[in-house]
Amino acid sequence: MHQQTSETFDRNAREALADVQLRGALRNLATTFGGRRKEAIATVEDWEGLRDRARAAKDETLAHLDKYLEQFVGNAEKAGAQIHWARDGAEACRIVLDLIRARGASRLVKSKSMATEEIHLNAALEAEGLAPVETDLGEWIIQLAHETPSHIVVPAIHKSKRQIAELFAEKVGIEPTDDVAVLTGAARRILRRSFAEAEVGISGVNFGVAETGTILILENEGNARLTTSLPRTHIAVMGIEKVIPKFTDLDVFLKLLPRSGTGQRLTAYQSLITGTKRRPEDEGPEELHLVLMDNGRSRMLSHPVTRQSLACIRCGACLNACPVYQQVGGHAYGSVYPGPIGAVITPQLSGLKQSAQLPYASSLCGACREVCPVKIDIPELLLHLRAEVTEGTAAGTAAQHGPVKSRPLERLAFGLYARAWSSPTLYLWGARVARLLQGAVVRKGRIGKVGGLLAKLAPPLAAWTEWRDAPPLAPRTFREQWREEQKR
């Protein structure tokens, strides 16, 4: 298999389509989580209203992000947290590394966090001779296998039970078994040792409450609770967009996130941590370090269309609902954020130049927008980014990452298309000409790639016709039939 990057989405996707086991796993994901989600949202009376309120809370925060961040940081500091600012991933990794070094620590446990995946924190720590232990079962599996997550909620969804059993047999020496309870029990036993001796715990953050300086971490396994309460030092890495205004806003987000992600009313655990312990006899870490990371986020604030990307609460529902993700899985996107949300934030975080194919990795069917608990209009964002790709300028991203490869022929074709469809005369004339010409391209009742004249004549259009069929035009148009009806 070749190195999978965002630049090679087309090739990655084709390889994934040939992987029968992967496609079975993805079908299971779509039906299981899709079905549970439907049942779970039926237990809420006003789902639409909740979505609107969550989005309003996010919009309010993002429109005044400076103010809310200041408030959040002030309150967290007052409660004893130490704040660190990271402009990019390298800076965030450096901060974490320095904190670990300054404490002479080497035993590190981690709970699942997309922010630390985004900045490749583990690789940065390993390069310095440290060995952070992932403790979420799915993350631990892919760490043992030296792979990357293929889903933002269930990172090892691409692996079968049998592959995991073989992996455990090889790496941790347990008898191969297809009993999931036995595999899970082995993970518990082995990781307990890591927890018992850990000096530093590293976590992500799901929500940061401006009003109180509280961080909330959501999970099912209990590993995040152990990571954030046993070690002496807790380091939490959070994107600057995680802030919400009020403590009671948590209610809305806790109704939406688990229902959308795994179809649960609530995940098994939420840890709400406000600073460090108050009295010496209290349990929990002595120190809490919050690493607030930009890494391309503030740039997204500069336009209302791109800004909505920052409302994402990483529930994973858009992945589960996406017909493209369901076929190709997470690795094809070549980025830590796959699926519809990945197709829009990866180009914005790492530059359109490296991921110009991603905004096209969608059929614009709108299933993602339909399920998104914070009503992010992902199709709108995809179109916005496609426009940047064809313009070749990519406002903001271009300045950072150089010009994007332009698609002038596609721009020309769509320009003509738009003109024809917006003028009644041109449309009527075009339809008449097309009907006369279509004899040359219709095969088996479809206009498609099979020996299609269009495909042969126009190479840039071939990219469209190769994978898309269009029904042929009717011999008489609706307009013509309507006029005749009226005359009778």
Partner 1 sequence: MFDAIRGHLAASAPHDAVRAAHHAAAAHGEDVSARDEKSAAVVFEGTAVERFRQALEAVAGRCFVVKDEAEAAEVLRQIAGQRKSQRVAVSDSPLAGRVLKLAGLPAEVLENAAVGELFDSDLGVTGAQWGVGETGTLVLESDAERHRLASLIPSAHVALLEARNVRHTLGEVLRAINERGEGGLSRAITFITGPSRTSDIELTLAIGVHGPAELYVVVIGGEGNG
* SS3 state at 270: strand
Nearest approach, Cβ of residue 40 and partner 1 (Å): 11
- Can you tell me the distance from the alpha carbon of 251 to that of 258, in angstroms, rounded to the nearest whole number? 12
Nearest CB to ligand SF4, comparing residues 324 and 372: 372
Nearest approach, Cβ of residue 477 and partner 1 (Å): 36
Nearest approach, Cβ of residue 130 and partner 1 (Å): 22
Nearest CB to ligand SF4, comparing residues 204 and 373: 373
Nearest approach, Cβ of residue 135 and partner 1 (Å): 7
Q: Which does 98 bind (CB under 5 to 8 A by kind): partner 1, ligand SF4, none?
A: none
Nearest CB to ligand SF4, comparing residues 44 and 97: 44
Q: Which does 315 bind (CB under 5 to 8 A by kind): ligand SF4, partner 1, none?
A: ligand SF4
How many alpha carbons fall within 13 Å on the CB side of residue 117? 23
Determine the length of the chain: 488
- Can you tell me the distance from the alpha carbon of 379 to that of 367, in angstroms, rounded to the nearest whole number? 9
Nearest approach, Cβ of residue 447 and partner 1 (Å): 38
Interface residue list for ligand SF4 (CB under 6 A): 260, 312-318, 341, 371-374, 376
Nearest approach, Cβ of residue 312 and ligand SF4 (Å): 3
Burial of 140 per CB tally in 10 Å (0-12, 13-18, 19+): buried
- Can you tell me the distance from the alpha carbon of 136 to that of 151, in angstroms, rounded to the nearest whole number? 14
Q: Which does 1 bind (CB under 5 to 8 A by kind): partner 1, ligand SF4, none?
A: none
- Can you tell me the distance from the alpha carbon of 288 to that of 354, in angstroms, rounded to the nearest whole number? 36
- Can you tell me the distance from the alpha carbon of 477 to that of 334, in angstroms, rounded to the nearest whole number? 45
Contact 367, 40 (CB under 8 A): no
262-290 residues labelled b (16+ CB within 10 A) or e (exposed) = bbeeebeebbebbbbeeeeeeebbebbbb
For Cα atoms 205, 36, 324, give the angle at the middle one, nearest 5 degrees: 80
Q: Which does 97 bind (CB under 5 to 8 A by kind): partner 1, ligand SF4, none?
A: none
- Tell how far CA 452 is from the center of its chain: 37
Nearest CB to partner 1, comparing residues 382 and 441: 382
Q: Which does 20 bind (CB under 5 to 8 A by kind): partner 1, ligand SF4, none?
A: none
Nearest CB to ligand SF4, comparing residues 72 and 253: 253
Nearest CB to ligand SF4, comparing residues 191 and 328: 328
206-240 residues labelled b (16+ CB within 10 A) or e (exposed) = bbbbbebbbbbbbbbbebbbbbbebbebbbbbbbb
Q: Which does 221 bind (CB under 5 to 8 A by kind): partner 1, ligand SF4, none?
A: partner 1
Nearest approach, Cβ of residue 429 and partner 1 (Å): 34
Q: Which does 205 bind (CB under 5 to 8 A by kind): ligand SF4, partner 1, none?
A: none
Nearest approach, Cβ of residue 396 and partner 1 (Å): 8
Nearest CB to partner 1, comparing residues 265 and 483: 265
Q: Which does 188 bind (CB under 5 to 8 A by kind): partner 1, ligand SF4, none?
A: partner 1
What is the Rg, in whole angstroms, of the alpha carbon atoms belonging to the chain? 25
